[in-house]
Structure 1
Amino acid sequence: AVSANGNGCPPIDIAGGEVPGGEVQLAGDKSSQYLTSILLSAPYFKNDTCIHIQGDLTSKSYADITLDIMKTFGVSVINESYQRFKVKAGDRYNAQTYQVESDWSSASYFLAAAAVTGGEVTLTDINPHSVQGDAQFTSVLEKMGCRVEKKSNTLQIKGNPLKGITINMNNMPDAVQTLAVTALFAEGETVIQGIGNLRIKETDRILALANELTRLGAEVGTGEDYLVIRPGDYRGAEIETYDDHRMAMSFAVAGLKIPGIRIKNPTCVEKSFPDFFQRFANL
């Protein structure tokens, strides 16, 4: 594989042929997506593959999703404490009819809506026991004061007065923006840790959150991998989305409590949730 422009970035020219497999060294501190792509392909490599993770693997929950779906389709992976992953060459996926789960990242905005308004929201056709990392966002809201009731394929949340928490969100990176906005309406400060990889998402999400939360009137502190949010006196504002779908959807939650919020470039939600604002309006 060769970068067409010689700068290490796409477009990339890829020559066909067998992939040898074998021993692979992979940095794990920036993203789990590189691991996922190799794992999914590894059964079709020429030789058995062992992926050695350099450092601590970030966003382990996404690796769990990958391993779970590979197992469902007939390929088992040996996971040695998220430091080594072993895949046998020659294993093959078995075709089947598969029901794709509802997306917990998208659900987080509706859960947060109940949390900040003190209302009730019921989610249907959702798996409360999913391996998706963001399925644990309900536990975060419980720690902040909400009441959650889970059934086989539904979940109900009731908002209560919120309190600030300190939490490591490394396994729920896509829910960080939702939590940050929710924290605006909690009593006391909220400290969100373990989120350094948010700096290399659609935008530098730590910087983007600091900018827009401050614009609304919160007091915000940041570090390389953390965010501290202290409630303040809020005012309406135009929210810059940085062409990041999760910025737009998260700050829509703030609009439920702060009059005068306008979301710039709302069409950026089309990346993951094209009809988000129509569904959100139905609340």
Structure 2
Amino acid sequence: MTLELPDRLLVRRADGPVIADVVVPPSKSIANRALMCAALAEGESEIVGIAPGDDTSAMLDCLERLGVVIDVTERDQRLIGTVTGNAGVLPNGPINLQTRLAGTTSRFVTALAALGAGPYVIDGAPPLRARPMAPLHNSLAALGARIEPGNEWGHLPVTVSGPLGGADAVMMPGNVSSQYVSALMMVAPYIRRGMRLGLSTELVSRPYVEITRSVMSAFGFDDVDVSERTIHVGEGGYFGTDYTVEPDASSASYPLAAAAVRGGAVSVKGLGHDALQGDAKFIDVLVSMGCTATVSANDTVVMRRSDTPLRGIDINMADISDLVPTMAVVATQAVTPTKITGVGFIREKESDRLGDLAAELNKTGAQVLVEDDGLLIMPTNVLHGAVLDTHHDHRLGMAFGVLGLVVDGIEVNDPSVVSKSWPAFWEALDAIPARRS
């Protein structure tokens, strides 16, 4: 059970090197993909490790509104979902689907809704309405769906009516969001003759597409081919299965970064060397900056001696873009500059993850410069306390929490924004700092 949070939270600075064993939530990215496949499957599935947080809650609610029977229970401190699939058959509308602030859910559910006759209205909270959806809406329209914007084309709210099956091939840019690609991939087995998706630009966040393919395979569908500029998915379907969701590598970046910025050792349980998520590569990034790490089958440990300085690096983060806020915070503690490239597309995430992130960190005396496709973080002698805004972005909020472990006086506005992916984040962070006896 999470604590009731104030409107502004003062982060407790660590008195010395940290040492902690941390349990992070299951991956919401994997959980939402597993829920999608289970909902479309023939038969019953058991998903072990449904992620807590608003994104997964919104997905569960939308699937149930679309007639999927889901029973969620708790066992061994994990949420277990028993899902009775609909074999790709959706009830007729009108049905209203509220996706709140969940970008992933809104995009996945929009593609799912296009399989049914409709009409289905997909909507979200005002910040989500501002986020772009045009590449997905354009592709669904090309595949035969009827797409009717409530206000502006390419944004929520949108009314969707299917079924799909119009074009043999569609084209979309690959450098905007891999969520569009994953959304189409997961529904494609239920399109007559499947789908051939062309990418007009290089695919960003490719590891997330590989996660999608892996989850589809776990539910019995393997007819997927991913090349540099083309993704082909055959016709078929999913079958009910038992699926265990691994710990969230994106969430793990925050406690592991705590060991990097403050010194000490942090272990994340359950995240091992066979992790599906590309964000698990963040451990290698920390090592390149001066940390040491051990990764076993069942856990990951990051360590840094207090007398070993952090070094800045040049890094293209296109494939691990969710970790840019974490990386930027770690870079403020390095003794040499850090240059982050390949992530211009994250300006249209929950926040402007370049401009908003830089502006907030600069409030503390940091020197963070926004460039065309990334950030340049220059070393500074001393940072100071400041009130930092989260801009409706859970990843900014959690990254600022890590900064507060080494900079006295960091206050975070709207700390409850972390409920999107890790509702218990602040309790977990509070258990990390070393304290004087």
TM-score in same-fold range (> 0.5) = yes
Residue 88 (str. 1) matches residue 243 (str. 2): no
Residue 242 (str. 1) matches residue 401 (str. 2): no
Whether the 8 Å contact between 2:332 and 2:379 is mirrored in structure 1 is yes
Whether the 8 Å contact between 1:67 and 1:77 is mirrored in structure 2 is no
Deviation per CA, 1:227-277: give whole Å up to 9, x if none: 000121211000111111111100111111110110011011111111100
Distance 2:377 2:369 in 1: 7
Paired position in structure 1 for 2:150: 4
Distance 1:219 1:79 in 2: 44
CA shift for structure 1 position 7: 3.8
Whether the 8 Å contact between 1:133 and 1:172 is mirrored in structure 2 is yes
Paired position in structure 2 for 1:24: 170
Amino acid at match of 1:176: V
Counterpart of 2:285 in 1: which secondary structure? helix
Identity rate, percent? 38
Match of 1:63 among 203, 209, 219: 209
Counterpart of 2:294 in 1: which secondary structure? strand
Whether the 8 Å contact between 2:272 and 2:295 is mirrored in structure 1 is no
Paired position in structure 2 for 1:72: 218
CA shift for structure 1 position 21: 5.1
Equivalences for 1:178-217 in 2 at 5 Å? 178-217=326-365
Deviation per CA, 1:190-247: give whole Å up to 9, x if none: 0011011110100111001210121111112221211000121211000111111111
Deviation per CA, 1:146-184: give whole Å up to 9, x if none: 000111111111124210000000000111100100011
Distance 1:82 1:25 in 2: 13
Distance 2:424 2:220 in 1: 34
Matched residues, number: 282
Whether the 8 Å contact between 1:77 and 1:85 is mirrored in structure 2 is no
Equivalences for 1:1-283 in 2 at 5 Å? 1-20=147-166, 22-89=168-235, 91-160=236-305, 161-232=309-380, 233-283=382-432
CA shift for structure 1 position 80: 4.3
Distance 2:345 2:152 in 1: 25
User: Structure 1 residues 99-108 or 210-219, which shifts more?
Assistant: 210-219
Amino acid at match of 1:178: T
Counterpart of 1:257 in 2: which secondary structure? coil
Deviation per CA, 1:95-151: give whole Å up to 9, x if none: 111001110000000000000111101111123322211100000000001000111
CA shift for structure 1 position 33: 0.7
Larger RCO (alpha carbons 8 Å, 6+ apart): 2
Aligned-residue RMSD, C-alpha: 1.3
Amino acid at match of 1:112: A
Whether the 8 Å contact between 2:289 and 2:313 is mirrored in structure 1 is yes
Whether the 8 Å contact between 2:225 and 2:233 is mirrored in structure 1 is no
Whether the 8 Å contact between 1:217 and 1:235 is mirrored in structure 2 is yes
- Unaligned runs of 5+ residues in structure 1 are none
Counterpart of 1:85 in 2: which secondary structure? strand
Distance 2:164 2:185 in 1: 16
Distance 1:17 1:52 in 2: 21
Amino acid at match of 2:405: L
Distance 1:4 1:240 in 2: 30
Distance 1:77 1:114 in 2: 42
Distance 1:107 1:133 in 2: 12
Counterpart of 2:243 in 1: which secondary structure? coil
